[in-house]
Amino acid sequence: MDFDLILRVYPYFLEAALVTIQLAVLSIILGLACGALGAYARLSRWASLRFAGATYVSVIRGTPALIQLFILYFGGPQIGIQLDAFEAGVIGLGVNIGAYMTETIRGAIIAVDKGQIEASRTLGMGGWQTMRYVILPQAARLMIRPLGVNINAQIKGTALVAAISVVELTYTAQRYIGSTYKPFEMFFLAGIIYMVIIYITGLGINWLDRRAQIK
């Protein structure tokens, strides 16, 4: 292993890692928004909204994220959607993880004991008040860990946008291979940096989960 080479190029990898982190953070925020809306739709009283939510989830989960990115980035201009690679990356990844988060959030909400809804409703509280003050505070605690799994997947998933030439960590590794002919070192370095990001994120999620548990 060529450690001198790694020491020489790692600052450029760290810069690229910042792009990876930006992609992850922005797409996770978008994903959470899509997930919340998706869960709302899937749990709606209206059949048309439930159908829309279910369609979103099955289309996204039924196709490769890479194809979704390609459709958005390469196919988009054909139907009048012009995005630069970074934008396409954030939107594509966000909408993708949003479908998984939809199921996570919905699962946590329906996992709250039905007796909680009954108790709240018999006191005279409305459907929304019950959701806001009784169900969601309990569901939020239940969803931290599974959302953590989604977030973990998303951080690794950002590597896909190398395929639409966003200059993030994986793309940068590929680029340096082109000039150094050292794929082992370059991918090894990129892998280590992914691991550090994921490890730190995991610590954050554990901390949040511990803090949120009901005494």
Q: State the minimum distance, in angstroms, from the CB of residue 47 to another protein.
A: 14
Q: Would you count residue 214 as binding another protein (CB under 8 A)?
A: yes
Confirm or reject binding of residue 12 to another protein (CB under 8 A): no
115 binds another protein (CB under 8 A): yes
Least spacing, CB of residue 177 vs another protein, in Å: 51
Estimate to the nearest angstrom the gap between the alpha carbon of 8 and the chain centroid.
32
Task: Answer yes or no whether residue 124 interacts with another protein by CB under 8 A.
Answer: yes
63: left (phi over 0), alpha (psi -120 to 50) or beta: beta
CA triple 161-163-165, angle to 5 deg: 80
As given in the structure block, the two tokens for residue 117 are 């809804």
Instruction: Please state the closest distance from residue 104 (CB atom) to another protein, in A.
Output: 19
Count, residues near another protein per rule CB under 8 A? 22
Residues 130-189 that bind another protein (CB under 8 A): 133-134, 137-138, 141
| 206 binds another protein, rule: CB under 8 A | no
Indicate whether 113 belongs to the interface with another protein (CB under 8 A): yes
Q: Does 199 bind another protein (CB under 8 A)?
A: no
Among 45, 47, 62, 80, binds another protein (CB under 8 A): 45
Q: By the 8 A CB rule, do 25 and 93 touch?
A: no
Reading the block at residue 95, the tokens are: 């909408």
Phi-psi region of 80 (alpha: psi -120 to 50; beta: other; left: phi over 0): left
7 near another protein, rule: CB under 8 A: no
Does 125 engage in binding with another protein (CB under 8 A)? yes
- Sheet strands (E) in 31-113: none
CA distance 151 to 135: 23
Residue 37: both structure tokens together:
């809306």
Q: Can you give the binding site for another protein, defined by CB under 8 A?
A: 45, 113, 115-116, 118-127, 129, 133-134, 137-138, 141, 214-215
